[in-house]
Amino acid sequence: MSFAGQVAVITGASSGIGWALARTLAAEGSKVGLIARRREQLADLAGQIEKSGGTAAFAVADVTERPQIVAAIHDLTVRLGPVDLLIANAGVGAPTTIEPFNVGEIEKMFRVNVLGVVYSLEAVLPQMLQRRRGHLAAISSLAAYKGLPGESAYTSSKAAVNVFMEGLRIQLRSKGIAVTTICPGFVQTPMTEVNEFKMPWLLTADEAARRIVRALKRRRKVYNFPWQMALIMKLMRWAPDWLLERVMHTYNENPPFPKTPL
């Protein structure tokens, strides 16, 4: 299928995968709606898209604030038209520490990574149900397939996204609405640039966006990529605890926190 002429709304569009997805979909002929907290970056991206002959509009919102994100998406609907494709992309990550136990950052990850998805879907679902068509997508992670030491909160928040989207996909099956869960491996973004270890099969954000758009065109239920990393993560489910503890010991001694607080 083609996204030409369709309205695609992307959360977390001010950088990383969201930024690249917006440019890729605009190049496909989509009218793109951009949402994030940073106005300057959104305005820059919208300007680039329009300069290239595309159509873009933006709204500033924090996905953890339910009234904000619902109002932002409704505003974009008025300006661009009914949403055909929603990509709940906004996400954050930080290590889980035990001394001290960083509950504040854990709460933030769940609010952004899980509730941010739910609130974004809430804003478009009624209209999609009324029209009996539409496509909902969420950017999860291959990390969702295994609880990792030092990453308990991030991996479990992404596992929650996977299970939530799975149940929703089955529930909406007869309603004309497609649901896709996207699980990338390592992608060059501001979130991963703090990692000091070698990230296997690292993709650029542009390459990740191209692959994601291809998967969305095919209306994939779940898209895990790259396949090599997906295979490793699934095999890790069978790895003994002592091995994972040993492998990630150095990581947990000096975990890479984001440059800006969550």
- Cα(31)–Cα(16) distance, integer angstroms: 19
Reduce the secondary structure of the chain to three states and give it as a string. Answer: CCCCCCEEEEECCCCHHHHHHHHHHHHCCCEEEEEECCHHHHHHHHHHHHHCCCEEEEEECCCCCHHHHHHHHHHHHHHHCCCCEEEECCCCCCCCCECCECHHHHHHHHHHHHHHHHHHHHHHHHHHHHHCCEEEEEECCHHHHCCCCCCHHHHHHHHHHHHHHHHHHHHCHHHCEEEEEEEECCECCCCCCCCCCCCCCCECHHHHHHHHHHHHHCCCCEEEECHHHHHHHHHHHHCCHHHHHHHCHHHHHCCCCCCCCC
Q: Active-site residue 119, yes or no? A: no
Half-sphere exposure of 97 (CA within 13 A, CB side): 12
Q: Which residue type, as a one-letter code, is found at position 33?
A: G
Residue 237: how many other CB atoms lie within 10 Å: 9
Q: Which residue is catalytic, options 119, 145, 154, 223?
A: 154
Across the strands, what pairs with 11?
Answer: 35
| Residue numbers annotated as active site | 154
